[in-house]
Structures are given as C-alpha cells and as structure tokens.
Chain A
C-alpha cells in the first residue's frame, strides 16, 4: 500500500482519501487543544482557515525549538470542532479518533488523521516552530504554527463517514461476546 503525500493548504484531494489510507503531511499546521478552540470560537481564528489542518497537541517548545509534540486525545474536542470545519478547515489531527458528531461534520468537507500516540521524539524531529497565536493561553494551550515535514499519519475518519476507530470498537465488542458467552 503506497503512502500519499499531502501538503497544506489542503483542497478537494482530501475528499478522495479513504479511512485506512496512509499519508504524510507537510506544510503549515496549527495546534489547538480545548482552550484554544474556545478562544478561537469567541475571538476569531488567527490564521487563514481555508484548507488548514488543526493538530490536537500541547507541545513542549523551548527557545523556538520543538522538544516534544505528540498528539493529545482528540475526543475532548468532539463538541468544539464544528466551527473550524464550517470555516474551511480540511483536516483534524490527533489520537484516539472522534465522536459521531465530528464524523458527520466531516462529511463532504474533510478528514481526521491519526498520529501515533506517545511519539513525542518522532514528532519533534519532523516539526519546526514557525509562530504562535494566543500565547496568553500558556505553552500547552496556545495555538502554535508548526511546519510539518512528511509527518506519517493514517486517515482515521474519511469524508464519506467511514471511521476505523468506530469499526474496530464494534468488532472488538462482538469478538468479546463470542469469546465469553
């Protein structure tokens, strides 16, 4: 299975990707956790959201250098992501997948990309610091502008409503019931 190279700003090419596709992502990406989502919804998105990718991550960045930048649990942003997608954001990146609401919001618009949990050193070696917005939120919660260099990701949810995390969890439940009748 080949790996598809993506670059931000993203366009309609994301609509043809399918859950399970492996991709690499390059270009500018913006981090956002809970607080940043609330702030952006209230005070505005500080970057051009058209074709943008949002990374669920609270990095450690010291002296302009990315020290650790693994993904955080995306499900915390389940109720906070709609306005970003409405404003043209094409990709959400994180770990663990997202809920049904986001799965529906992504339909015809964008995709969810999974980055391997815990891979802080790998992240640090393929991401560069480019800028910061809403710095007053603190290091973990601010919106960091990072330049990705071929970050390896998997399409977890596609724009047609296919969701690997959901499918895997349904299968695991079935399997558990058949193992322990």
Chain B
C-alpha cells in the first residue's frame, strides 16, 4: 500500500479523504461512548445489583440500569457531564504520524460537540474562559501507539470522579502500603465520584507515566480481575460507602492495575477514579 501522504508538499497534511474519515470516526466513537455503556461494565453493574444486600443500594443500582436503557432508547447521553475526551490512537505503518492526523481528531471532537450534543466543558485553566467546543490548548489529550489498524479509542472523563484521583511517590519499602493508598483514595472520595466506581491503578514507571498507566487501566475490560486486583476491590468494598455514598456492598465494581518498571529507589502509585458511567468506545478508521 502507498503511504497516505502528499509527498513533496507540506508533510503535516494528510489525504483529504483520510482527514474526513478520521473526523467522522472520532465523532462516531464519542457518540457511541456517550450513549451506550460498554457491555462488560453494564454486566458488572447488573451483577452488583443482583448481589447487593442493602435495599437502598439496590434501588440506586436499579436507577443506574434504568438510566442506561433510557439513554439507549432516547439516544441521549448517559450523563449530563459528558466529560472531556481522552483519545487513544493506534497507527499502522502505512499512515504517517503528523499534525494533520491530530487536527482531524480535534475537528471530530468539535463535530461531536454539536451533533451528540456534548456539554462544552473545556476552559482555560486560569481565566476559566470556555472554548465552547471541547477543544483547547493540549485538549483533547491524544495518546499514540503503533498498531495494525488505524483505531480511535475515546474515553470521555467526567470531572466528579477525575477530581478524586490521587498520586503518590511511595518509598520502595512501602510496597505493602499500596492497598492502603488505594482504599484511602476511596475513603476521601466518599460519595462524591458517583460510586460504584472503577479504580484504575498505575504502579511503577515515573511520575508522569504512572498517571497514564492508571488511566489506561480504565480501558481494560472489567469482567476479569487478577487476585491482586480482586483483593484491592474487596478492600475498597469493605468501606461500605456504597452507590452514591448511601451505603451498601458495592463501592467499586472493579479495580484494574497496570504496571511498568521503575527506578530502584522509587515506587510511584496513581489511582484514577472513574464513576459508574465508565464510557469508552473504539472505532476503526477505513483506509
């Protein structure tokens, strides 16, 4: 296959048809994420509802499931906080990584803001001026990795849960404190991040890397947990915070962990808190 780039011209530009396909795919991925919760998350919430022993918690979980059906039926966003889009891109060898690609994604976000519609959430961090279209300086954040296809994964992140996330540079001798740090994050958060939550936990890497790992952990399916993740999840659930902080067995529906090697003298840990509306969707861009 020929590389899809205009040679001899501005190499930051991509083929117009590809540009349009990326815009459309980004917009579609956002729309899908906003209206349809992934099947594994929905299944986990409905399992939690079956198991829940507190009547109040059970009715909260029933409201959530009912809300999911209404969103699908009415083609409306699941939650009014449509978040800010976090984008994960995989690029195959024959597509050049250039600014034209990123411009197309930003255009897709602007389009989604109008057609889904999304609440315009992106503001200047200091002046607080709203850009009105969910893009801005460094917004959306786009994470790129090599792949066999051109895929766009969208994770819309609401502020209620994001604001409860924490990072710690533990000492290597404190590795036994990881569960304490995770549980403490939920204790401080209480009902504010709209539990039941999913906790994305990053362990290792560097200061910047560990936060990325925690967020990437939220892309993992929640239908399986390894023994370490299950232990963390059980510990968090022992706090009894329950759906919306009203008490119950279900504070977290899953804890997912991603690791990276780190310096022998450090132990970074990050917890990215995700509300029950764990929205994500992937769309393959036709080439």
Contacts of B66 in A (CB 8 A): 119, 122
User: With an 8 A cutoff between CB atoms, is A125 at the interface?
Assistant: yes
- Give the docked Cα–Cα distance between A96 and B79 (Å): 16
Cross-chain contact B78 with A172 (CB below 8 angstroms): no
Interfacial chain A residues near B56, Cβ < 8 Å:
20, 22, 154, 164
User: What 0/1 readout, one digit per residue, does chain A (89-125) give for beta carbons within 8 Å of chain B?
Assistant: 0000001110000000000000000101111111011
* Contact A154 B187, beta carbon cutoff 8 Å: no
B265 to chain A, nearest CB (A): 25
Q: Is B239 an interface residue (CB 8 A)?
A: yes
1/0 contact string of B231-255 vs chain A (CB within 8 Å): 0000100111111111100000000
Q: A122-B63, A154-B59, A179-B235 are in contact. Are A68 and B80 (CB under 8 A)?
A: yes
Query: B245 to A125, Cβ gap below 8 A?
Result: no
Assess whether A171 is in contact with B245, with CB atoms less than 8 Å apart: no
The reply to whether the CB of B214 lies closer than 8 angstroms to some CB of chain A is no
Q: Does A17 contact B (CB under 8 A)?
A: no
> In the complex, A1→B59 CA distance in Å?
11
A180 interface residue (CB < 8 Å to B): yes
Identify which of A1, A165, A172 contacts B239 (C-beta below 8 A): A172
Query: In whole angstroms, what is the CA distance A29 to B263 when docked?
Result: 57
Q: Is the interface of A mostly helix, strand, loop or mixed?
A: mixed
Task: Give the contacting residue for B246; candidates A58, A68, A165; CB below 8 A.
Answer: A165
Q: How far is the CA of A95 from the CA of B245 in the complex (A)?
A: 9
How far does the Cβ of A125 sit from chain B's closest Cβ, in whole Å? 5
- CB within 8 Å for A175 and B238 given contacts A97-B245, A116-B60, A124-B76: yes
CB pair A176 B245 closer than 8 Å: no
Q: Which residues of A contact B194 (CB under 8 A)?
A: 95, 117-118
The one of A122, A156, A171 in contact with B70, judged by C-beta atoms closer than 8 angstroms, is A122
Q: Hey, what's the 0/1 contact readout for A150-168 against B, CB within 8 Å counting as 1?
A: 0010101000000011011
B184 within 8 A of A: yes
A-B contact pairs, 20 of them (CB 8 A): A68-B77, A70-B79, A96-B192, A117-B191, A118-B78, A118-B275, A119-B67, A124-B74, A125-B74, A164-B56, A168-B190, A168-B241, A168-B247, A169-B190, A169-B241, A172-B239, A175-B238, A176-B239, A179-B183, A180-B179
Please give 11 more A-B residue pairs, beta carbons under 8 A apart, in addition to A59-B80, A121-B67, A165-B245: A68-B79, A96-B191, A114-B246, A117-B191, A119-B66, A120-B78, A121-B78, A164-B56, A168-B191, A168-B245, A168-B246
